[in-house]
Structure 1
Amino acid sequence: MRTTTLSLRALAILGAGFTLLPQAAMAQSTADDGDMIDNADVDSTTPVIVVTAQGREQNLADVPVAISAVSAETLENSGTSDIRELNQVAPSLLVSSTGNEANGSARIRGIGTVGDNPGLESSVAVFVDGVYRSRSGNALSELGPLDRIEILRGPQGTLGGRNSSAGMISIYTAKPEFDFGGYANFTYGNYDAIRVEGGVTAPVGDTVAARVDGVFFRRDGFYNDVINDTDVNNRDRYLVRAQALFEPTDSISFRLVGDYSKKDEACCAATFVQPSFAPLARLSDDLPPTSADAKFDYPGTATPALTDPANPIIPILLGLGQNPAALNQSTFNRNIYVTPGRSYAGSTEDYGISGELNWDFGNATLTSITAYREYENTQASDTDYTQVDILYRAPGDFAGAREFKTFTQELRLNGTVFNDRLDWLVGGYYANEDLQTRDNLRFGTQYGAFAPCRVVNAVNPALANPLATGCIGAGGRAVLQGANGGAGAFGPATPLIFAGLDRLSQINDLGSTGDVYNQTSENFALFTHNIFHITDTLDLTLGLRYTNETKDFDASFANDNVICPQNRALLSSLLAVPSLAGLAGGIISLSCQGNSTSELDGVTLEDSRDEDEFTGTAILSWKPVDDLLVYGSYSRGYKAGGYNLDRSALALPVALNVNTINPAALQFEEETVDAYEIGLKYQERMWGASLSLFRQEFSNFQLNTFNGSVFVVQNINGCDTDLGGLDRDNSGTTGACDADNIAPGVVSQGFEFEANLRPANSLIFTVGLTRADTEFADNLVGSEDGTPLDPALRLLPGDQMSNAPAWVATSSLTWTPDIGTSGMKGLFYINARTTSDYNTGSDLLYGKEQDGYTLVNYRVGITNIADRFSVEGWVNNLFDQNYSQVAFNTPFVAEQQTYSAFLAEPRTYGVTLRAEF
């Protein structure tokens, strides 16, 4: 594992970073903003920031949990328009996206759900106005005007809404107001970006207020598709949100919200990873891999350059038409070379309606949140990310489609008794979610020329001829057949091997014609959360939640790959011959890759699962003085199990038997976590700080990784018995653990420190630092019954989890001085995020490492011109830092250490004009 380093450039530049108590949430003073704050200038009370993280309104400084509250002003200053941009202001949070923005992943303290499988729920749950969004990627879109965002760190397994194992992001949009007002914003930036946002709010009588907001955003893509003369990773989206707020009395409030958003965008391209991207992954440039498994063997082997003859797959790609420029250019050159006619076109619709009732009875308050939402996404792709036509999804209703229809109902009743000594809360939650995924993944028109070459390369790369049938010409066949009518390289089976290769070469534009997976989930939960004020300074919080989760699953398949069953019948007899089993199995596997076979055509499956889980929390908190809170807590978290919505998990392709398919093979188990935390918070009018120490132990951790051919979904557990390295070998049958010795498979532990300083009303510094050792156990197994770990994951034991840098620092400076006496103000805002090194691949393969880096965003302008206008210039990624979100195994060529990467956004800049009325 590479040495961890941390660049503190961000702290050196700014001297501060984002905190638990963000700058915009600080109390405002009527003092002259340019003056230093002293007792003569400002109210002596401590700033009050109100949050609802525990189901009731509380002062943030009094909440004994790790939480960041980001105010509307901070969101505006930082340019936050979707949850990805929260990375800059929350050091423990990382939001990224990969092959589809619908699969965007949020991680807290290094823990998150990764991969493109919608069957896995998010470890970090996202709520908008109290309504659960089915997957965190659903929030990777325009959010419109916001009131605040609360980021809760650690498992959320007690209160209302959907339980989550790693954390929660709660987004609160701006409400209607009973005073007439409106706004309009216009932004123009590089990549021909145009963003228009506007809204109006007004009273409708004495008891009703209404609000309408809209956002339109269009921008050219960051990638240039050289072959098809288009751009990819563009923006073309809009949002409309309408609200009504009804307040007939002081004790009753009802808010109705309806929203609709649409995206028509091309996403998501990738580039080839060059060895210079992760130079520690090789010893020298002239050492070739020792085997097809060399990617697992570092430091004993090297990673050859993509154009190095030691990488035998490269001549095959070049021979089939791959432009060498794609292989020679820098990892961060955003020219891509896509198969002619293939597209990354995608479409997303997201809409819903919700109603929130709050009714104060005097001694108790009832809250009801009712919501219905629909979300649908389709995403075409050149799925092999090369110019050679190997694998693709054609645009249309079946292009990697996912569709969610979700109804949720939450009820909470809370109040106080015993002279306010007990602050009680009880509630219930119900969710019904219909999930459908549709897929049309097909082998491309050159798969038949490419796939046999993988087999021939394994036999003798010198014989590979991608332009010949079966990737082997007459001369090569003569060599393998042997002279003078000999038995040949494979004995009497040589003709069968040739016939298998020839049939394999016929798999061109075959595969799925429309696979459909349906999953219906019902979630019932009862919960209670109670704060006992033992003394005026000592509180005990006890919470308990019971959750019942049922999931009903069915699937139907349509497929026209008739070559798979032909090669299975032709070569199955050779699987019993030890010297030929690997070769025959390889041909069958490539013929039936991902279980794409006409044997499944018309097959349907059904299954169901049921879970019951108790979760909860216990917190002891103490305020020795008014401005200081000290607490210790234990919490139990849970994330539901489910189904791997991918036919490749039914069985290994070589072993698939449609007569004995067991849909239970698609199941994965629920994830649980035991979390411990000790913390303190101090906040007074000029400065504040917080410190938390945490340890989180995950059992049945749900991991999703792409092994170069298919996605692997596996529960990860530890073993208290030393497995002697058998979990690190190339066998899926060794390294089992006795079920009595199962232990947590992932542990995240470390500390979070955040502080803020406000020497003047116009000047705020903040700083945040997170240290998170988020590591797999030293000895790993693949399930709670001790099943051995999948060999594709054999680099995981004892290592840091992917996309989980050990160190992260964030920092910001806000300066808003008065300009003259007319009320105009200047704006100078800068924030930075610095991370240490980390691996971006969920299988932790060498060559996917990302060096530490610093991102700086900057905004400067003049605000409050004539009490209503502002003009601001801004730059995101000020120093044009190149870095990868995720590096992954290039489909079908990863055995030769050929990787691709989804790049992060380059530098963007522009001007924003604002007006209020």
Structure 2
Amino acid sequence: MKYIYKASACAFALSAMCAAPVYAQDQSAEAAAEDIDSGNVIVVRAQGREQELADVPVAISAVSADDLQKSGATDIRELNQLAPSLLVSSTGNEANGSARIRGIGTVGDNPGLESSVAVFIDGVYRSRSGNALGEIGPIDRVEILRGPQGTLGGRNSSAGLISIYTAPPEFTFSGYGAFTYGNFDHIRAEGGINAPIGDTIAARLDGVYVRRDGFYTDVTNGTDVNNKDRYLVRGQLLFEPSSDLTVRLVGDYSKKDEACCAATFVQPDFAPFARVSPGLNGFIKPVGPSPALTSTQNPIIPVLLALGQDPRALSQSTFDRKIYPTQGRSYEGETEDYGVSVEVNYNLGAVDFTSITGYREYSNNQGSDTDYTGVDILYRAPGDNAGARAFKTFTQEFRFQGTAFDDRLDWLVGVFYANEKLRVRDNIRFGSQYGSFAPCRIINAVNPALASPTDTGCLSAGGKALLSGQLPGTMPAFGAATPLLLAGLDNLGGLNDLGTVEDRYGQDSESFAIFTHNIIEITDGLDLTLGLRYTKETKDFSASFTNDNTVCPTNRALLSNLLAVPSLAPLAGGLIALSCQGNSTSELNGVSISDDRDESEFTGTAILSYKVTPDLLVYGSYSRGYKAGGFNLDRSALSNPLLLDVTNLNTANLQFGQETVNAFEIGAKYSTPEFTFGISAFRQEFTNFQLNTFNGSVFLVQNVNSCGTGLGGADLDTSAATGSCAPGDVQPGVVAQGVELEATMSPVDYFNVAVGLTYSDTSYENDLIGNDSGAPLDPALRLLPGDNLSNAPELTATASLSYTPPLGNSGLSGLFYLNARATSDYNTGSDLLFGKEQDGYFLVNGRIGIRGPEEKWAIEGWVQNLFDKDYTQVAFNTPFVASQQTYSAFLAEPRTYGITVRGRF
């Protein structure tokens, strides 16, 4: 099947304006067919049918293979430069990539949460957007749909959809190859061959190999991190026995053996003094300068230094890209991804039938120095159980489409089925120095001057004598409970290299949906689109634990009685919490739990569109989207460690509810071959918004709503018990609203310009609550009410320029290409702590080259991040150090550059 792009339209590298209609609906079928054959239109499948992009009244960007080649994009993260409303980032693991559209996306590293932005490759759903991070090889086009997709698109998605179509086989013999060399010893080799096998079968084979040194230097272990070492092989068969039947078989395999993902301490060059609050309290906005996060005035820093932290890690720039982890700890990991799909398109006469069948397996494991410091506090040993996740996914979609009433009704009905088996394994353990570090957090709370990190319990003999009242003129600091508390400190000091031996989680999901999508021509130029979908979802959860942390039950038994004494409860509770952090306890050893959940939801869309003139379309739409609920695959959510009862574990604490969104949009699009312009305004209201937050110790998965009745600031305090709401008064907790502007111009031959601007106020409502039952918001989220979501800049602008003039009469042509993306300030942390704010920045990529006759060969020089702009993807609470307001950050890539040589026949 053919997907043909007009050259002037395809030169835009970013803009959804290519979605603007170009031709009037009353254009004759003969003329339309002639335009398609001559390459004057773009064909997409955004509405489950092959349609001219000009006739699709939805918010969509279509990016061609030529655009991606010019921009240098080789995976979905690099689509950021091509679409202003899209942001794709990755954090602590290659498998944890998150895509956001209009500021909405799934946050964090928990595979139990599905993606707000679904990713499909050749019509087959990828279980999480992170599963699509990697080389995509030669493609035909990428479609980016903005807003909830609640009718078509296979799997439901609440924020948008990215659909990638790989280059299909053709009935001509051809081949290609490309070789790239760049800085960081970057090597990329790509090649493929296409061949007809008789008159009815065509075959295609493509391969990509990439190797690159890491952006971080591990000074401690003498290696580099965040490197690339990966390959992709994809084979295809196309069977066309007649004009009515097409069968396409696609199989692919990819693998990565890479070290990922390092982080550096946040320093004033990222979080200036004015952003760090007085008293090192990250929940209070500052009124003046205060110490750097890694200053020795921060009481946790002398502890880290005393235990062996390399001081260079605390004094270098955030962006020096040198890390000083624990000796012997590694970020090595492995990712394997493979699958097969079959797409059948059969014209049955009055009805067109489509079947898309897919089966995929994906696995990833990643070792880590999980505390990101030179002190051995927390780690995952590389191997099969290192934060591993594995997906086995089967999907099947059937669609039937036809017309009725003299073609005034274009109808479509279909069913979709997905079966996903998710397995998670983990081996996270307290390090060999956790018992030296953790007691110092308690002592710092009592009196930092008493901290002696190299002594048991973080107390010297003199310090113990002082607190126990053994020095002349002193009394026991905590009365009769002093011996118990000191014994608890000593016990905590023995918590070294203990914790998880192996935890296993399983989640089996089944999703069944039936849907219909119909376009009704009311009058010439006036169309009404109606779509409806019913989805039934079931999930079965199980988990089993193997754990050797005996310090937790020992200190729980020793200190639990002190929790009833108000003056002693904070110290006793702190000791128990640090001994049982994340519900790591031998009490769970050999324990298994299970649960299940069922849910169903109606979603759909209604669009009224009118072709005012052959070049101008106006439309208004309503859509309802949905993202399934599920289970938090993290034992820390079972309960508060102070209240854990292994004889009565409450698996309900692991559940989070389904997320729904109601979206409204109006827009106008003007399009001619030389100029396009579009404007749209949108509002999206999210109920039960799913948020995953790391609070420095554990991951919190929380549904977020708001209360129709004012809470009087009870959602802003430090209490987990205040700020509840009557269930009948629950309202959406997140609203995204804004305006998108796009324009493209092709004023003269060979010259194309595109610009895009997105204003999106994507923010939490005031008076927030935790779920749709009206439960209070977790106090770790008390900065959220009324503020913008993380990684959701209000303003984003993109632009591209492409010039490809002929060079004399030789048949040669030149290439000059630039694209740029600028964003306003935004916070990168999902808890919105002030030290995680990223200043606005401006990124520029460029490519220049010379191409042979008919582009049979090319030599191109390129640069990404031309001005070497330093910025972060996410800043986060440094694990176990966060209570002292020390942050770390996953950095974005620095400037890269190189040369590419390509050829084809």
TM-score computed with the length of structure 1 as normaliser: 0.95
> For residues 627 and 274 of structure 2, what CA distance do their matches in structure 1 show?
35
Which one-letter code corresponds to 2:881 in the other structure? V
> For residues 837 and 271 of structure 1, what CA distance do their matches in structure 2 show?
21
> Residue 331 and residue 437 in structure 1: after superposition, are their counterparts in 2 closer, same or farther (change >3 A)?
same
> For residues 698 and 448 of structure 2, what CA distance do their matches in structure 1 show?
24
Tell me the equivalent position of 2:189. Answer: 196
* 1:264-319 Cα distance to aligned partner (Å, 9 max, x none): 000000000013312274479xx543xxxx11011357652144332000000000
Tell me the equivalent position of 1:434. Answer: 421
**CA offset at residue 689 of structure 1?**
1.0
Matched, 1:643 2:631: yes
Task: Give 3-state SS (helix, strand or coil) of 2:498's partner.
Answer: coil
Contact (CA 8 Å) 1:872, 1:913: kept in 2 or not? yes
Tell me the equivalent position of 2:326. Answer: 339
Tell me the equivalent position of 1:617. Answer: 605
Matched, 1:354 2:341: yes
Which one-letter code corresponds to 2:314 in the other structure? L
Which one-letter code corresponds to 1:534 in the other structure? I
Contact (CA 8 Å) 1:682, 1:689: kept in 2 or not? yes
**CA offset at residue 23 of structure 1?**
12
Contact (CA 8 Å) 1:25, 1:49: kept in 2 or not? no
Tell me the equivalent position of 1:145. Answer: 138
> For residues 580 and 597 of structure 1, what CA distance do their matches in structure 2 show?
23
State which of 568, 572, 581 in structure 2 corresponds to 1:580: 568
Contact (CA 8 Å) 1:24, 1:72: kept in 2 or not? no
* 1:361-420 Cα distance to aligned partner (Å, 9 max, x none): 222100000010000000100000000000000011100000000000000000101000
> For residues 147 and 265 of structure 1, what CA distance do their matches in structure 2 show?
28
**CA offset at residue 159 of structure 1?**
1.2
In the TM superposition, 1:190-229 aligns within 5 A as 190-229=183-222
Tell me the equivalent position of 2:123. Answer: 130
Tell me the equivalent position of 1:363. Answer: 350
> For residues 39 and 671 of structure 2, what CA distance do their matches in structure 1 show?
7
Tell me the equivalent position of 2:369. Answer: 382
Which one-letter code corresponds to 1:400 in the other structure? G
Matched, 1:59 2:55: no
Task: Give 3-state SS (helix, strand or coil) of 1:608's partner.
Answer: strand
In the TM superposition, 1:756-835 aligns within 5 A as 756-835=744-823
Contact (CA 8 Å) 1:145, 1:173: kept in 2 or not? yes
> Residue 138 and residue 559 in structure 1: after superposition, are their counterparts in 2 closer, same or farther (change >3 A)?
same
Contact (CA 8 Å) 1:862, 1:870: kept in 2 or not? yes
Task: Give 3-state SS (helix, strand or coil) of 2:753's partner.
Answer: strand
Matched, 1:849 2:837: yes
> For residues 829 and 709 of structure 1, what CA distance do their matches in structure 2 show?
46
Matched, 1:19 2:53: no
Contact (CA 8 Å) 1:672, 1:698: kept in 2 or not? yes
Contact (CA 8 Å) 1:750, 1:771: kept in 2 or not? yes
Contact (CA 8 Å) 1:717, 1:743: kept in 2 or not? yes
**CA offset at residue 59 of structure 1?**
1.4
In the TM superposition, 1:200-599 aligns within 5 A as 200-279=193-272, 281-282=274-275, 287-289=278-280, 294-300=281-287, 303-482=290-469, 483-484=471-472, 487-599=475-587
Tell me the equivalent position of 2:875. Answer: 887
Contact (CA 8 Å) 1:453, 1:464: kept in 2 or not? yes
Task: Give 3-state SS (helix, strand or coil) of 1:785's partner.
Answer: coil
Which one-letter code corresponds to 1:460 in the other structure? N
**CA offset at residue 794 of structure 1?**
0.3
Task: Give 3-state SS (helix, strand or coil) of 1:254's partner.
Answer: strand
Which one-letter code corresponds to 1:781 in the other structure? I
Contact (CA 8 Å) 1:24, 1:73: kept in 2 or not? no
> For residues 43 and 420 of structure 2, what CA distance do their matches in structure 1 show?
32
**CA offset at residue 779 of structure 1?**
1.1
Contact (CA 8 Å) 1:275, 1:304: kept in 2 or not? no
State which of 597, 603, 607 in structure 1 corresponds to 2:595: 607
Tell me the equivalent position of 1:11. Answer: none
Tell me the equivalent position of 2:712. Answer: 724
**CA offset at residue 18 of structure 1?**
3.0
Task: Give 3-state SS (helix, strand or coil) of 1:546's partner.
Answer: strand
* 1:80-137 Cα distance to aligned partner (Å, 9 max, x none): 1100110001000000000001010000000000100000000000000000000001
State which of 11, 35, 42 in structure 2 corresponds to 1:49: 42
Count residues in correspondence: 883
> For residues 603 and 258 of structure 1, what CA distance do their matches in structure 2 show?
40
Contact (CA 8 Å) 1:18, 1:754: kept in 2 or not? no
More deviation, 486-495/614-623: 486-495
> Residue 866 and residue 775 in structure 1: after superposition, are their counterparts in 2 closer, same or farther (change >3 A)?
closer
Which one-letter code corresponds to 1:64 in the other structure? P
Tell me the equivalent position of 1:103. Answer: 96
**CA offset at residue 823 of structure 1?**
1.8
> For residues 157 and 275 of structure 2, what CA distance do their matches in structure 1 show?
39
> Residue 867 and residue 641 in structure 1: after superposition, are their counterparts in 2 closer, same or farther (change >3 A)?
closer
Tell me the equivalent position of 2:155. Answer: 162
* 1:308-357 Cα distance to aligned partner (Å, 9 max, x none): 33200000000000011000001111000010000000100000000000
Task: Give 3-state SS (helix, strand or coil) of 1:238's partner.
Answer: strand
Tell me the equivalent position of 1:630. Answer: 618
> For residues 915 and 769 of structure 1, what CA distance do their matches in structure 2 show?
36
* 1:685-719 Cα distance to aligned partner (Å, 9 max, x none): 21011111000000000000100000010000011
> Using CA pairs below 8 Å that are at least 6 residues apart, which structure has the higher relative contact order?
1
> Residue 888 and residue 440 in structure 1: after superposition, are their counterparts in 2 closer, same or farther (change >3 A)?
same
State which of 67, 79, 90 in structure 1 corresponds to 2:83: 90
Tell me the equivalent position of 2:899. Answer: 911
> For residues 23 and 751 of structure 1, what CA distance do their matches in structure 2 show?
16
> For residues 397 and 257 of structure 2, what CA distance do their matches in structure 1 show?
33
**CA offset at residue 866 of structure 1?**
7.3
Contact (CA 8 Å) 1:26, 1:49: kept in 2 or not? no
> For residues 301 and 727 of structure 1, what CA distance do their matches in structure 2 show?
26
* 1:7-53 Cα distance to aligned partner (Å, 9 max, x none): xxxxxxxx9973224599999xxxxxxxxxxxxxx999994211110
Contact (CA 8 Å) 2:189, 2:208: kept in 1 or not? yes
* 1:654-704 Cα distance to aligned partner (Å, 9 max, x none): 111101101121000000000000011111121011111000000000000
> For residues 448 and 416 of structure 1, what CA distance do their matches in structure 2 show?
71
Runs of 5+ in structure 1 lacking a partner? Answer: 1-14, 28-41
**CA offset at residue 898 of structure 1?**
0.4
Which one-letter code corresponds to 1:547 in the other structure? T
> For residues 363 and 276 of structure 2, what CA distance do their matches in structure 1 show?
46
**CA offset at residue 821 of structure 1?**
1.7
* 1:46-73 Cα distance to aligned partner (Å, 9 max, x none): 9421111000011112111100000111
Which one-letter code corresponds to 1:528 in the other structure? T
Task: Give 3-state SS (helix, strand or coil) of 2:567's partner.
Answer: helix
Tell me the equivalent position of 2:884. Answer: 896
> Residue 21 and residue 862 in structure 1: after superposition, are their counterparts in 2 closer, same or farther (change >3 A)?
farther
Contact (CA 8 Å) 2:17, 2:669: kept in 1 or not? no
Which one-letter code corresponds to 2:884 in the other structure? Q
* 1:867-911 Cα distance to aligned partner (Å, 9 max, x none): 511100000000000000000000011111100000000000000
Task: Give 3-state SS (helix, strand or coil) of 2:437's partner.
Answer: helix
Task: Give 3-state SS (helix, strand or coil) of 2:500's partner.
Answer: coil
> For residues 327 and 859 of structure 1, what CA distance do their matches in structure 2 show?
38
Which one-letter code corresponds to 2:209 in the other structure? F
> Residue 866 and residue 611 in structure 1: after superposition, are their counterparts in 2 closer, same or farther (change >3 A)?
closer
